[in-house]
Amino acid sequence: MIVRFSIENWMSFRDKAEFSMIATRERQHNERVPRIKKYRTGILPITALYGGNASGKSNLFEALRFAQELIVDGKRPGERIPVKPFRLDEKSGKLPTAFCFELLVDEVVYEYSFVLTPNEIVEEKLVEITGSSEKTLFHRLDGKSNLHDSLKKKSDLEVYFKGTRENELFLTNTVFQKVEAFLPVWSWFRINLVLIAPDSQYARFERLGDEQDPLASSVNEVLSRLDIGLHRLEAVEIPLETVPILETEKEKVLEKIKEKGTVPVRIKVSRNERYLLTNENGEIHARKLVAWHTGEEGHEKRFDLRDESDGSIRMIDLVPALPALCAENSRKVFVVDEIDRSLHTLLTRSLLEMYLESCSPESRSQLLFTTHDALLMDQDLLRRDEMWVAERDSSGASRIFSFSEYKDVRYDKDIMKSYLQGRLGGVPRILLCGGGRKSDKSSPGSPIRGENEER
């Protein structure tokens, strides 16, 4: 689980911005908040990040994607690190970028941080946090490594540190060298953290067409409950020559199919057309993913995905995440950028409610998402500390804050109304057509910081 994370000098975030999943003293929806007894705290299962266009919401998502790729995949020798510092002042462009993650991994909290430039890792640190103390497992600074005494006996770690390139994370290098000392943290970024962009899907779509796959039955069950007309997916066999492959690519694709054997090769011609090719006993078979709708008197009718609406395709992309989130003992953390894209607000809300129904003090999954859908700004659905806002100041720098930081936002307040009136910040500052005067109603507010009210 994400306990909290922060970024500094990344894209529109010039100053340090911290996103916290630690539950406040708020009592609303308390029964679904996961409890970490060892640390005597609660960690929120869900957060929504609102804000106007270009406020920084997607930049936060991109920060997680950048960190995940850097940690999991590493960099080749001499390859530049694609850091994106704040560009609207000359000073920031010359300063390093900083990331810090506090994570719950196997019931242990770790703090992992690194500071970097396009050419090198300036600093890197991994700390194990217990209920009452902290243990620095390693600290890399100015080309030197400080290992914890319990790790110094493993002389290979010292050797691997000396072999860690300037553009490479020590954490990543140890895993590549098959050292298991820090493997749980690396594995969290590789396996537990799942990022879904507005134009991407979660599951490999061949699973959705396999009737024997448990995911397919789970997805079809959810789809049938959402009243979008579509009630199940299937992979149907089609003539190989009808698969729209360019002649220049056909030979490469066929060679790849022969190499993979029975493992399907996925071909995504467009967002709405998806094909599967397999080698079965030396014969190549082609299938495509189709949707089934129920018509009058319960009769089924098959539709190609290219005939489906954008909203239906978005549901097909998102719904497979739901079983993974709701599964017993799930440790998945999903971060979805623009969860409401092409979806009716009631469909989005239904997905969130299905997930929240599975949450309890024992659950360990999380869902973080960005959205423009103000109708989801409802305290019957989300707690105040689960609703965050991103906004830009006059210098173009982004900041984020939670509604729990507002002392006067009560549990019974109509948050959506106050937000849309500009009283809580995070709304567009639109210039009127006439003289360029800014609308008073759209001027962002500032939190009145104080003690979180206990109700």
pLDDT digits (tens, 9 = 90+) for 326-354: 999 999 999 999 999 999 999 999 999 99
DSSP one-letter string for 165-209: -TTS-HHHHHHHTT--TTHHHHHIIIIIEEEE-TT--SS-HHHHT
- Which pLDDT score, from 0 to 100, does residue 429 have? 58
- Which pLDDT score, from 0 to 100, does residue 437 have? 42
Assigned token pair, 13: 């975030």
Q: Are 44 and 62 in contact (CB under 8 A)?
A: no
**Helix (H) or strand (E) run with residue 224 in it:** helix 214-225
Averaged pLDDT, 402-429: 71
CA distance 249 to 258: 15
416-445 residue pLDDT tens? 777 777 766 656 654 555 544 444 443 344
Q: Are 201 and 266 in contact (CB under 8 A)?
A: no
Least confident window among 145-149, 268-272, 278-282, 425-429 = 425-429
- Which pLDDT score, from 0 to 100, does residue 436 have? 47
Between CA 441 and CA 33, with CA 382 as vertex, the angle to 5 degrees is 145
Between CA 344 and CA 12, with CA 422 as vertex, the angle to 5 degrees is 80
Determine what percent of the chain is predicted with pLDDT higher than 90: 56
Q: Write down the pTM of the prediction.
A: 0.86
- What is the gyration radius of the CA atoms in the chain, in angstroms? 24
Crossing angle of helices 310-318 and 345-357, rounded to 10°: 10
Q: pLDDT band at residue 211, thresholds of 50, 70 and 90? A: confident
Domains of the chain plus CATH, in order, are 2-197+325-442 (3.40.50), 205-318 (no CATH)
If you count them, how many residues does the chain have? Answer: 455
- Name which of 324, 66, 286, 365 is nearest 201 in CA terms: 324
